Chains A and B, each alone.
Chain A
Amino acid sequence: MLQRTIPIAILCLSGAIMVGAYFISSAQSWGETVTTWFNILAAVAFVLGAGNLIAMNLEKISSQRPGWGYAAITLVSFAFMLVVGLLKLGAVPNDKHPDIHLAGSYDTPASPFGWMYEYVMSPLTATMFALLAFYVASAAFRAFRAKNTESILLLGTAFIVLLAQTAAGMFLTGWIPEDSAFAFLRLDKIKAGIIEHVQTAGMRAIMIGIALGIAAMSLRLILGIDRSYLSKN
Chain B
Amino acid sequence: MQRTTSARGITALVAISAALLAPCTVAMAQAGDAVAASERGWFRGDRTALLVALGVVGIAIVIAIMRARAGHPVKIRRMPALEAVDEAIGRATEMGRPVFFIPGIQDMTDIQTVAGVTILGRVARTAAEYDAKLEVPTSRSIVMSAARDIVQAAHFEAGRPDTFDAGRINYITDEQFGYVAAVTGSMMREKPAACFYMGAFYAESLLFAENGNSIGAIQIAGTAEPSQLPFFVAACDYTLIGEEFFAASAYLSGERVQLGSIQGQDIGKMLAVGLIAVGVVVGTIGAVDPSGKVSAAFENLKSLIGG
Contacts and interface: CB of A to CB of B under 8 A. Distances in A.
Given A26-B42, A209-B269, A231 B210 contact: no
Interface string B219-251: 000001010010101110000011111110110
Q: Chain B contact residues: over half helix, strand or loop, or mixed?
A: helix
A129 B180 CA distance: 10
B152 interface: yes
A218 B243 CA distance: 12
Given A213-B243, A226-B250, A231-B153, A132 B264 contact: no
A209 B242 contact: yes
A26 to B, nearest CB: 5
Given A206-B229, A213-B242, A233-B156, A38 B247 contact: no
Interface string B137-161: 0001110111001101100110000
Contacts of A136: 206
B57 interface: yes
A115 interface: no
A42 B107 contact: yes
- Chain B interface residue number, banded: 35 or more
Given A25-B41, A25-B43, A209-B243, A52 B249 contact: no
Q: Which of A41, A45, A136, A218 has the most CB of B within 10 A?
A: A45
Contacts of B142: 41-42, 45
B145 A213 contact: no
B241 A206 contact: yes
Contacts of B234: 139-140, 142-143
Given A49-B144, A213-B243, A225 B257 contact: yes
Contact of B171 (A53, A66, A230): A53
Interface in A38-79: 38, 41-42, 45-50, 52-53, 56, 59, 66-67, 70
B90 interface: no
A41 to B, nearest CB: 7
Contact of A125 (B146, B156, B177): B177
A136 B134 CA distance: 28
A2 interface: no
A49 B206 contact: no
A153 interface: no
A212 B262 CA distance: 9
Contacts of A42: 107, 140-142
B276 to A, nearest CB: 9
Nearest to B230: A143
Contacts of A47: 141
A152 B226 CA distance: 22
Contacts of B233: 143
Nearest to B58: A219
Nearest to A66: B189
Interface string A204-216: 0011111011111
A229 interface: yes
A52 B170 contact: yes
A13 interface: no
B185 interface: yes
Contact of B172 (A53, A143, A230): A53
In order of increasing CB-CB distance, the 7 nearest A-B pairs are A49-B141, A213-B246, A213-B243, A49-B171, A209-B243, A128-B177, A45-B141
21 contacts: A23-B47, A45-B140, A48-B145, A49-B140, A49-B171, A53-B172, A67-B186, A140-B234, A206-B226, A210-B243, A213-B246, A215-B58, A215-B61, A215-B265, A216-B262, A216-B264, A217-B114, A221-B114, A228-B122, A229-B150, A233-B152
